[in-house]
Structure 1
Amino acid sequence: MSVFTPLERHELETFLRPYGLGRLIDFQGIEAGSENSNFFVSLEQGEFVLTLVERGPVDDLPFFIELLDVLHDAGLPVPYALRTQDDEALRSLAGKPALLQPRLSGRHVRTPHAHHCQEVGQLLARLHLATRDQCLERPSDRGLDWMLREGKSQAAKLAEADVPLLNAVLAEISELAPRLRALPRANLHADLFRDNVLFDGNHLTGVIDFYNACSGPMLYDLAITLNDWCSHEDGSLDPVRARTLLGAYAALRPFSAAEAELWPVMLRIACVRFWLSRLIAAESFAGQEVLIHDPDEFRQRLAQRQQIDLALPFAL
Structure 2
Amino acid sequence: MSVFTPLERPELETFLAPYGLGRLRDFQGIAAGSENSNFFVSLEQGEFVLTLVERGPSDDLPFFIELLDVLHDAGLPVPYALRTTDGEALRSLAEKPALLQPRLAGKHISQPNPHHCQEVGALLARIHLATRNSPLERESDRGLDWMLAEGPSLALKLPEAELPLLRDALAEIQDMKARIQALPRANLHADLFRDNVLFDGPHLAGVIDFYNACSGPMLYDLAIALNDWCSDEEGALDAARARALLGAYAALRPFSAAEAELWPTMLRVACVRFWLSRLIAAESFAGQEVLIHDPAEFQRRLAQRQQVDLPLPFAF
**In structure 2, how many angstroms separate the alpha carbons of the residues matched to 1:55 and 1:128?**
25
**In structure 2, how many angstroms separate the alpha carbons of the residues matched to 1:242 and 1:302?**
16
**In structure 2, how many angstroms separate the alpha carbons of the residues matched to 1:164 and 1:315?**
31
* Aligned residue identity for 2:189: H
**In structure 2, how many angstroms separate the alpha carbons of the residues matched to 1:313 and 1:294?**
31
**In structure 1, how many angstroms separate the alpha carbons of the residues matched to 2:7 and 2:282?**
26
Classify 1:315/1:239 alpha carbon distance in 2 versus 1 (closer, same or farther; 3 Å). closer
2:168 matches 1:168: yes
SS, match of residue 260 in structure 1? helix
What does the per-residue CA deviation read over 1:29-65, in whole Å, with 9 as the maximum and x for residues that have no partner? 1111111111000001000000011122321000000
Q: How does 1:234-313 map to 2 (within 5 A)?
A: 234-313=234-313
Report the CA distance between 1:4 and its aligned residue.
Answer: 1.1
SS, match of residue 313 in structure 2? coil
- Contiguous gaps of at least 5 residues in structure 2: none
Matched length: 316
2:112 matches 1:103: no
Identity %: 83
Report the CA distance between 1:241 and its aligned residue.
Answer: 0.3
Report the CA distance between 1:314 and its aligned residue.
Answer: 2.0
Q: RMSD of aligned C-alpha atoms?
A: 0.9
Report the CA distance between 1:315 and its aligned residue.
Answer: 5.8
Answer yes or no: is the 8 Å Cα contact 1:256–1:314 preserved in 2. no
**In structure 1, how many angstroms separate the alpha carbons of the residues matched to 2:88 and 2:254?**
39
Classify 1:221/1:285 alpha carbon distance in 2 versus 1 (closer, same or farther; 3 Å). same
SS, match of residue 314 in structure 1? helix
Question: 2:149 matched to which residue of 1?
Answer: 149
Q: How does 1:1-316 map to 2 (within 5 A)?
A: 1-314=1-314
What does the per-residue CA deviation read over 1:134-169, in whole Å, with 9 as the maximum and x for residues that have no partner? 100000001111111111111111111111101111
| Runs (4+) off by over 4 Å | none
**In structure 2, how many angstroms separate the alpha carbons of the residues matched to 1:309 and 1:245?**
15
What does the per-residue CA deviation read over 1:242-275, in whole Å, with 9 as the maximum and x for residues that have no partner? 0010000000000000000000000000000000
* Aligned residue identity for 2:40: F
- Contiguous gaps of at least 5 residues in structure 1: none
SS, match of residue 4 in structure 1? coil
**In structure 2, how many angstroms separate the alpha carbons of the residues matched to 1:3 and 1:304?**
34
